């Protein structure tokens, strides 16, 4: 096993490891995903020594490298024991974690991160490295949440907002096929946002609801036509908390797929994720897969 692979297969499933429990869980989840897709798994440990090199002694830098390579070796052995058929490569990177993960994934790989890290420079703590990795993604990023609790669920849940989410629904359908499971399209709209001012809510509700249901059914029929062997269900719901409905629904799914929309204001890289997306990567009850999608919104 090579510890310094610099050029993983461009379709690899790439996972960041930092020694934390959630990162280890993410590596095991990523291995299962790699096996399902028949793709290589690439473990990355980013030590950020490029930045720290200016004040680390030579001995300290060597210690960091040794610890990182040992961590990769231990994680690789744990993954291989549980998924002996996976094609596995590892990489010790001197770059920061966000740069290292995106560089390893290239234009076609899938990045997987844990929902929390161990803290410190090598942290994949969501809200810092993990969140920034998701916010800057140009390829799919999975935040592994609640994987053990939802392992028995084979339903893939996809959150759809409008017709532009058809590519996202198609991607989710392929994920459902890989899992030999079913697909559930869920469209949730914010009641007050849909009808404008609160005083007009009752007058506009029926028309607004019909509009939203039509969006969902149009998408559902297209997906059913393109994936005739797949069980496809659809749910439409109005709520004052779109994220709340999706979080509850995620407890009955093995994977939640959604477009990783960008927020309008640039308040720091991680905060570029839209409000609903931001809530789900922090609170969903199953792994969340974010697919790059341009445009603003939740």
Q: Out of 12-21, 168-177, 209-218, 256-265, pick the least confident.
A: 256-265
Question: For residue 123, what are the contacts with CB-CB under 8 A and spacing of at least 6?
Answer: 18, 20, 97, 117, 129
pLDDT on residue 206: 72
DSSP conformation class of 50: H
- What span, in angstroms and rounded, lies between the C-alpha atoms of 257 and 168? 7
pTM of the model: 0.83
pLDDT higher than threshold 80 for residue 194:
no
Q: At what angle do helices 275-283 and 242-250 cross, to 10 degrees?
A: 30
Task: Give the model confidence (pLDDT) of 45-89 as tens digits.
Answer: 988 876 665 667 788 878 888 999 999 999 999 999 999 989 999
pLDDT higher than threshold 70 for residue 186:
yes
3-state DSSP of 202-225 = HHHHHHHHHHHHHHHHHHHHHHHH
pLDDT on residue 10: 56
């Amino acid at each position: 096993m090579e510890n310094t692979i610099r050029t993983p297969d461009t379709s690899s499933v790439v996972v960041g490891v930092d020694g934390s429990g959630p990162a280890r869980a993410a590596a095991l989840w990523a291995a299962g995903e790699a096996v399902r897709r028949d793709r290589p798994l690439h473990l990355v440990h980013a030590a950020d020594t490029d930045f720290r090199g200016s004040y680390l002694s030579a001995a300290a830098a060597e210690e960091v490298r040794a610890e990182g390579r040992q961590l990769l070796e231990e994680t690789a052995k744990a993954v291989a024991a549980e998924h002996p058929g996976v094609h596995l490569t590892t990489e010790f990177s001197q770059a920061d974690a966000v740069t290292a993960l995106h560089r390893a994934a290239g234009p076609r790989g899938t990045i997987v991160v844990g929902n929390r890290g161990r803290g410190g420079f090598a942290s994949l703590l969501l809200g810092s490295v993990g969140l920034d990795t998701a916010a800057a993604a140009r390829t799919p990023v999975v935040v592994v949440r609640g994987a053990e609790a939802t392992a028995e669920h084979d339903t893939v849940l996809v959150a759809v907002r409008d017709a532009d989410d058809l590519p996202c629904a198609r991607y989710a359908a392929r994920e459902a096929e890989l899992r030999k499971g079913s697909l559930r399209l869920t469209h949730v709209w914010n009641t007050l946002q849909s009808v404008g001012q609160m005083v007009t809510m009752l007058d506009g509700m029926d028309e607004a609801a019909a509009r939203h249901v039509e969006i969902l059914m149009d998408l559902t029929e297209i997906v059913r036509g393109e994936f005739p062997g797949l069980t496809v269900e659809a749910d439409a719901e109005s709520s004052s908390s779109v994220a709340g409905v999706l979080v509850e629904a995620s407890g009955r799914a093995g994977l939640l797929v959604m477009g990783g929309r960008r927020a309008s204001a640039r308040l720091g890289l991680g905060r570029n994720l839209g409000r609903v997306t931001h809530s789900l990567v922090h609170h969903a009850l199953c792994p969340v897969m974010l697919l790059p999608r341009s445009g603003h919104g939740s």
